[in-house]
Structure 1
């Protein structure tokens, strides 16, 4: 009696092909034809499929189980390279490698950055927004691009390079905002004025120009033998470079005056009413008597004179050293005076102290010193001199300059 044949469908596990089982023949095993391949797991980019086959054998106890014929893997066959289509790339290592600018399992998705965005007062040149495409921004008339660049490129990450620029208004100078001959320079959404000299402000509207002066005199030194001197000077002239009106005031209504000896300031002030700025011209007049020549110092004695206001006058006396005196024709009370004419009266040399001590002149002891540099002797000489000056016809020189008529201002020349 024939043993029934059992049909077995093998398990779906796949391993490498193995030999038939030793009982293949004794169990009368044989394969059925392979079934058709299954549908591929992917339509592109690489997938897998499989097929199977059945085995027949005796239906006996000793032939029970699939393993009496073969190992489990021999009933299934797998294909891992079906539909290896890569639309914009190449298949390698069970997957697609996409060309630059494409992505996805099948390399069928193109990198795109989308619309880069429109700009006010301008437009975009370029209609392709895919990878490596470039767009260029342009502005309308009277506008100018501001930003890093006028072009942007679609990058591999799907983002446009850089930043979207802006069209700024660039014609603000058309309204001529700069005043006083200022130069206008257009800037984004604004303008800048380059102002001429002495004008300030955003629009050069502030006049910072003071009046100018010509012919301002230097200080003047005048020597005169007269106590009243008429002097005429050239008045300065003032003007404004911007042509604005100015007013001029002065402390002397005319450019001449009768001056006494002394120091005088002549001042002119120009005022520009439109901005309140001023310009001064100031010079000093120094009017003095004629300078005195050097008065010869006495032999064996000292020349003692005033040390203050010497440019107005000099008043000197003779003092003698120890055991010296003036001859009987001379007197310690004789003043040597130099005034406005610059000459000494009575003469330019003082009487000398002789070696003959005149007994009759002992009353002149206060005009005699023992040591010209000794402090006590110096003080004695100075005090004697001041007493003589204050009680002399020239005492006015102490009265007029009381703060200077002091013993420390008496000059002793030995």
Structure 2
């Protein structure tokens, strides 16, 4: 039987007839009954762009160089198109291993994160992150008003406002009216019960040249005032923003002041300490066993009115009365106006107030200008 006549041996194998069959002698890299199985594939050098080839029981493996893949390492690695980027351009001369994609923000945009260069890596991915570009030239549209300085920010802007302006775009008028020639407070002494006072009228203005509403509690910058305290007030309100500026000062009109009385020898002077600007009412008291020499008398009021003049001057307590009976015979009430020492203040204060309330004119003064009931209502000038 000629079994080899059918050429059963494959891949260059040689056939030999044997009884009732055949046998194949296979070349080096083939095996099997008909030389149909690969024995040493790597010997045929199937791999390209490889590091090494490894034979297995039934298959071989190509270990590829970086940048290649596939059964025989014949397919180059590709990172693919990096894709379009918003507000930027991408230049990628190649998409395979080692190629670099270059990003550039469009004009007017700044990179805020990501990479300006990305490398195609052996695993088929681009290194880094895509570039992010955001608008950074908002000042080109001149958003700041009223001569403000504009600074670009990322997708924003900042205005440095000039004096008197505020807001995101410096469009808010926050300038209050300005005032010049605002008078200081005035104090005058008047011998008469009224006195004419004139002052400099303030001038209001607005650097933004907008309308002002002016108000004052005096129509003209002068007035005839009685004694007292008065407030002069001017105000200007800016109609555009409602801001207000005031000029306020006080005018004080008082009677002509009185000169200080001399403190009597061995005596003290008791005077009103409430509303002393409107009048002075004083008594003298003497140290115990002393009295004024005639014609001086204890219990006589010394009064200073609006002309600044005293009705009388105090006498010294220079009459020494050794015996109290002499004092009583001299004047029954003299003993009330005598004191032990300068610290006898409460008794002298009570004496002064009791004596004052008996005088119709002086008690009327206390009702017009209250304050005599306070503990410090009486001043005491003592000559020890």
Question: Shorter-chain TM-score: what band?
Answer: 0.7 to 0.9
2:29 matched to which residue of 1? 38
1:85-114 CA distance string (max 9 Å, x none)? 663353399886654444567554443321
Given the alignment of the two structures, is residue 360 of structure 1 paired with residue 330 of structure 2, yes or no?
yes
Q: TM-score scaled to structure 2, two decimals?
A: 0.76
Contact 1:170-1:188 within 8 A present in 2 as well: yes
Taking the aligned partners of 1:208 and 1:121, their CA distance within structure 2 comes to: 39
Given the alignment of the two structures, is residue 196 of structure 1 paired with residue 162 of structure 2, yes or no?
yes
Secondary structure in 2 aligned to 1:298? coil
Aligned residues: CA RMSD: 3.3
5+ long unaligned stretches in structure 2: 1-22, 34-38, 56-60
Distance 1:260 1:144, change over 3 A: same
Taking the aligned partners of 2:181 and 2:74, their CA distance within structure 1 comes to: 92
Query: How many equivalent residue pairs?
Result: 345
Q: Which of 268, 277, 280 is 2:246 aligned to?
A: 280
Contact 1:386-1:407 within 8 A present in 2 as well: no
Given the alignment of the two structures, is residue 404 of structure 1 paired with residue 372 of structure 2, yes or no?
yes
> Which structure is larger by alpha-carbon Rg, 1 or 2?
1
Q: TM-score scaled to structure 1, two decimals?
A: 0.71
2:10 matched to which residue of 1? none
**What is the CA distance between 1:341 and its match in structure 2?**
4.4
Taking the aligned partners of 2:310 and 2:123, their CA distance within structure 1 comes to: 109
Question: What pairs up with 1:13-412 in 2 under 5 angstroms?
Answer: 35-39=26-30, 82-83=43-44, 87-91=48-52, 99-102=65-68, 106-170=72-136, 172-347=138-313, 349-357=314-322, 358=327, 359-374=329-344, 378-392=345-359, 393-406=361-374, 408-412=376-380
Secondary structure in 2 aligned to 1:381? helix
Distance 1:83 1:413, change over 3 A: farther
5+ long unaligned stretches in structure 1: 1-31, 40-49, 53-77
**What is the CA distance between 1:189 and its match in structure 2?**
4.4
1:223-279 CA distance string (max 9 Å, x none)? 343332211111111111111111211111111111222222111111001111111
Contact 1:317-1:336 within 8 A present in 2 as well: yes
Taking the aligned partners of 1:149 and 1:217, their CA distance within structure 2 comes to: 68
Contact 1:318-1:351 within 8 A present in 2 as well: no
Contact 1:153-1:161 within 8 A present in 2 as well: yes
Taking the aligned partners of 2:53 and 2:320, their CA distance within structure 1 comes to: 139
